[in-house]
Amino acid sequence: MKVLYLDISIFFANMDMLDALEKYTDSEGNHLEIVKYPYAYEEKKATNDPDFEADFLKTIRATDPDFVFSFNFLPVVSKVCNIDGVKYVSWVYDNPEVFLYSCQVINPCNIVLMFDSKEFETFRLGGIKTVHYLPLAASTRRLDKMVPGKKEKEKFSADISFVGSLYTERKQYYDEIAPKLSPYSLGYIDGLIRGQLQVDGINYIEECLPQEIVDEIQKVSNIYPYPDSAETPAYLYANYIINRQATIIERREILTMIGAHHDMRLYTYGQNKAFCPKGVENMGAADYFLEMPYIFKLSKINLNITLRSIQRGIPLRAYDILGAGGFLMSNYQVDLANIFVPGEDFVYYEDRKDLLNKIDYYLANESERKQIAQNAHYKIQKEHSFDVRVGQIIDIVKSV
């Protein structure tokens, strides 16, 4: 079987997926033939790019692949694949992923793999038959090779660590529109955010946005859905503006709260270096491949505070923590609790008081903490590695 692989280096999982594809062997000893196609991802060209489309169609016809693969759904790739009826497998690991609402998603060539079961359910119930549910993965083969030495232990050992964006280093849509909103709309949205932050496991921001507030946000933001897209303005504003703002508030408040009781380390983009509340040591950015695995291995507790627009899915960060053999303490996510066993493979907190109580407990109970981390690592290795996922993807391709 031949795979035309869009090699997109900016996607963190790209290298691990490519490695798993190259090492794949079926029950009869057959390997995959991988043809790599370097692709420089630009959002503005993801729906329409005549030069790419012409070149990629030539590549498809010259290589004659059994399927094309990329991370995230790229409408421009689906458009080309649909011309020659070549299967296009895309594995989505971002949410929101606005290009899923492109009209190209219904193309019969598509096999769209979604990591968030809520998003998958929404599309399936909406009559979209090209989508499938597939959680993300970790490369235990790569992570297990990274054994901390004296230098790494001195540099990365910590009681508590959080690796992730604060989202204040990105374009601040909410801050831009807030001064332009009416007092009523601003108060309503702020109340909506505060209410949402009291609840894990379900997100109600989009369904609670009245049309008049949606219209006002559209007017002051001048942000519109893509012309060929089916997503609603309510979806766009709920996920790209309001849920992001909720995540900004949540992460800053939780980290500040923990720092008031325990020393912890924050690894985030350099633009956030000014965020340094009491007890929180801001370490700047961590390299995904060279440093992050050591952080996960050498932190007694690794936090996961999920981006609010990921409604049920397990973010890649959580898989990387578990795959590295780290101890994961996370907010409640439905998929995480369904795929792994709470208290056996990871620990989730129910609210902020519960988070502090569980931090105290697991810092004091080392053997239990290490056993939970070991359980999860074994489960990732056996059931949720990229090697396992490649086999599942091949099975899906053969069945469609």
Over residues 376-384, mean pLDDT: 98
169 pLDDT band, cuts 50/70/90, is confident
Residue 32: the pLDDT is 97
Residues 325 and 254 grouped into a single domain: yes
Name the strand (E) or helix (H) holding 336. helix 334-339
279 pLDDT band, cuts 50/70/90, is very high
Q: Give the rounded percent of residues in the chain with a pLDDT score beyond 90.
A: 93
Residue 339: the pLDDT is 98
Over residues 78-100, mean pLDDT: 95
Residues 25 and 121 grouped into a single domain: yes
Residues 166 and 304 grouped into a single domain: yes
Q: At what angle do helices 352-364 and 243-259 cross, to 10 degrees?
A: 50
Residues 186 and 231 grouped into a single domain: yes
Residues 112 and 169 grouped into a single domain: no
228 pLDDT band, cuts 50/70/90, is confident
Burial string for 37-75 (b: 16+ CB within 10 Å, else e) reads: bebeeeeeebbebeebbeebbeebeeeebebbbbbbbbb
8 A C-beta contact, residue 78 and residue 107: yes
Over residues 32-60, mean pLDDT: 96
Burial string for 200-223 (b: 16+ CB within 10 Å, else e) reads: beebebbebbeeebbebbbebbee
Residues 202 and 302 grouped into a single domain: yes
* Number of domains making up the chain: 2
First to last CA, the chain: 15
Q: Any idea what the Cα angle at residue 242 is, between residues 237 and 247, rounded to 5°?
A: 140
Total residue length of the chain:
400
184 pLDDT band, cuts 50/70/90, is very high
Q: Indicate if the pLDDT at residue 129 is higher than 90.
A: yes
Residues 152 and 35 grouped into a single domain: no
Residues 172 and 281 grouped into a single domain: yes
Residues 187 and 92 grouped into a single domain: no
Q: Indicate if the pLDDT at residue 170 is higher than 80.
A: no
Over residues 195-222, mean pLDDT: 96
Return the structure tokens found at 287. Answer: 């390299």
8 A C-beta contact, residue 332 and residue 348: yes
Least confident of 48-57, 168-177, 216-225: 168-177
- Peptide bond preceding 96: is omega within 30 degrees of 0, i.e. cis? yes
Residues 49 and 95 grouped into a single domain: yes
Q: Indicate if the pLDDT at residue 272 is higher than 90.
A: no
In 145-286, alpha helices (H): 150-156, 173-177, 183-196, 211-221, 233-237, 243-259
Strands (E), 86-219: 87-92, 110-114, 131-133, 158-163
Here the CATH number for the domain that contains residue 44 is 3.40.50.2000
151 pLDDT band, cuts 50/70/90, is very high
Q: What rounded mean pLDDT belongs to the chain? A: 96
Burial string for 232-263 (b: 16+ CB within 10 Å, else e) reads: ebbbbbbbbbbbbbbbbbbbbebbebbbeebe
270 pLDDT band, cuts 50/70/90, is confident
Return the structure tokens found at 129. Answer: 């038959």
Residues 295 and 372 grouped into a single domain: yes
Residues 99 and 192 grouped into a single domain: no
Closest CA to 356 of 313, 309, 301: 301
Question: How crowded is residue 378: how many other Cβ atoms within 10 Å of its Cβ?
Answer: 14
The gap from C-alpha 5 to its chain's centroid, in whole angstroms, comes to: 20
Tell me the helix, strand and coil percentages in the chain, rounded to 5: 50, 15, 35
Name the strand (E) or helix (H) holding 282. strand 280-284
Question: CB neighbours of 399 closer than 8 A, spacing ≥ 6?
Answer: none
Q: Indicate if the pLDDT at residue 307 is higher than 90.
A: yes
Over residues 84-105, mean pLDDT: 94
Residue 238: the pLDDT is 97
Collapsed DSSP state (helix, strand, coil) of residue 77:
helix
172 pLDDT band, cuts 50/70/90, is confident
Residue 171: the pLDDT is 78
Collapsed DSSP state (helix, strand, coil) of residue 177:
helix
How far is the C-alpha of 41 from the C-alpha of 195, rounded, in Å?
36
Residue 227: the pLDDT is 83
8 A C-beta contact, residue 312 and residue 202: no
Can you give the residue range of the structural domain that contains 97? 2-137+385-399
52 pLDDT band, cuts 50/70/90, is very high
Residue 23: the pLDDT is 97
Strand partners, 394: none
DSSP state of 44: G
Over residues 76-102, mean pLDDT: 95
27 pLDDT band, cuts 50/70/90, is confident
Residue 96: the pLDDT is 87
